[in-house]
Structure 1
């Protein structure tokens, strides 16, 4: 029987996300869910030369109880160039940067207005590069519940991953320094480890 997991849509999800969905056949997303502040919907973490840095996508206006698929990106803040420069400075010398970055750059260049659409395209690319054959489906209001597991609202920046049951860090090659930084953006793993990324994710699933 196919395993379906209800999940949130994140901006370049971290490794905990991929560990949590690694055995899923289908991911179900909910565009009508209400936007939550301080979530991963518009932020991700990358490893810079002397720190872990956060990339945040700016959002238009105030957001009182607005559906995720109605969140608009504030494209007048030049955020795309900031993110592109940040990613290049962080990973320009990584072994697989030149192979994988053009996939993401193509999406950035579209200057999308919808954060939902941006995240959807980026996740689609990440799953393809990871060779994870999971399907992505949007849940429409009124449809019956077809998922076995619901992890919406669980992967939040405010709570350490160590307090959840999905991810146990498996170290891998990283640029800059000797200390390993766990649970960064999937970009960190892809750019540094390339085709080995999927096996590292599978090794990082927390054993129960």
Structure 2
């Protein structure tokens, strides 16, 4: 299966469950940026409960192609994200093993959101040890040719009902709380379960 999907910022577990059957991932490079989606935010587990990490952008009005959306470094989000991640996962079993990769990418200070998300996705796929080809779309097509599976905007915080098509929560160890928090950023799963993360994504995948 070839899966067509947008880039997201440290995507949730459901994103990877949706892609699990794909032998090739095509990233949508020509879409218009959508606000209030996973494209510039992720959800993590902290001592205060679930917290949202948002990458501020300079895309304020009108339709902007995703590759032209700049990250806004006039806001002090980068250090705040990193301190929050350290606080949330510093005591997680595998934080020290994986955190250096994440820190290096974040602090490259990518100019464009798409480039940041692309590199973070590549990192996550390496962490999961997935042998999958990643390409970029050549143009925008409303209805892509078969046999592509069109997953664009399917994993969306405003469309929770969609998740059951791809994702069935599989519980794993989490640092905080007695109640399992489902579909957090993949970093929650990786930092807590390490090499077991790939198996847990597999268990979380809805088989069609």
Instruction: Report if TM-score (shorter chain) is over 0.5.
Output: yes
Q: Secondary structure at the match of 1:75?
A: coil
CA distance in 2, matches of 1:135, 1:66: 27
Say if 1:22 and 1:61 are closer, same or farther in 2 by CA, change over 3 A.
Answer: closer
Once residues 140 and 52 of structure 2 are traced to their aligned partners in structure 1, the CA distance between those partners, rounded to angstroms, is 37
- Distance (whole Å) between structure 1 residues aligned to residue 72 and residue 202 of structure 2: 36
State how far apart, in whole Å, the 2-side matches of 1:82 and 1:24 are: 34
1:142, CA displacement in angstroms?
A: 7.8
**How many Å apart are 1:66 and its aligned residue?**
0.5
- The 1:25–1:89 alpha-carbon spacing in structure 2 relative to 1, beyond 3 Å, is same
* Structure 1, 28-37 or 112-121: larger mean CA deviation: 28-37
**1:1-208 alignment runs, 5 A limit:** 3-141=1-139, 145=145, 147-161=147-161, 164-208=164-208
> What is the CA distance between 1:195 and its match in structure 2?
0.2
Provide closer, same or farther for how the CA distance between residues 165 and 142 of structure 1 changes in structure 2, counting only shifts above 3 A.
Answer: closer
How far did residue 63 of structure 1 move?
Answer: 3.4
The answer to whether the 8 A contact 1:167-1:205 is kept is yes
TM-score (norm 1): 0.94
| Alignment gaps of 5+ in structure 2 | none
Contact residue 112 and residue 118 of structure 1 kept, 8 A: yes
How far residue 207 of structure 1 moved from its aligned partner, in angstroms, is 4.0
Q: Which runs of 5+ in 1 are unaligned?
A: none
* RMSD after superposition: 1.6
How many Å separate the matches in 1 of 2:178 and 2:111? Answer: 39
Do 2:18 and 2:167's aligned partners in 1 also have CA atoms closer than 8 Å?
yes
Contact 2:41 2:54 in 1 (8 A): yes
Residues 6 and 27, structure 1, Cα contact 8 Å, conserved in 2: yes
In the superposition, the TM-score normalised over structure 2's length comes to: 0.94
